[in-house]
Amino acid sequence: MTSMMKMWISFASMGFMFLAILMIYFSRYKIKQKFIRFITALIAYILMIAGGLMMIYIVLSGPTQ
């Protein structure tokens, strides 16, 4: 994998984590309907896990040639 592709994957990972933080905040403090809160929190936690797994992949895959 090229170093440029790794850079874009790491940016996507950070974006997923940032979106997850915003969605968790809104689901806990701003949204009042329980079903919408659940869906928002579920999507947020999925994004957080996906972002973390992508970051672990980038870190553990080592340097590029």
Question: pLDDT of 36-56, one tens digit each?
Answer: 999 999 999 999 999 999 999
Burial of 47 (0-12, 13-18, 19+ CB in 10 A): buried
Query: Is residue 12 over pLDDT 90?
Result: yes
The rounded percent of the chain whose pLDDT value lies above 90 is 88
Q: Which pTM does this prediction carry?
A: 0.86
Q: What is the pLDDT of residue 64?
A: 78
Token couple for 25: 């905040």
**Average pLDDT across the chain, whole number:** 94
How far apart (Å, rounded) are the C-alpha atoms in residues 30 and 58?
Answer: 34
CA distance 48 to 13: 9
Confidence of residue 65 (pLDDT cuts 50, 70, 90): confident
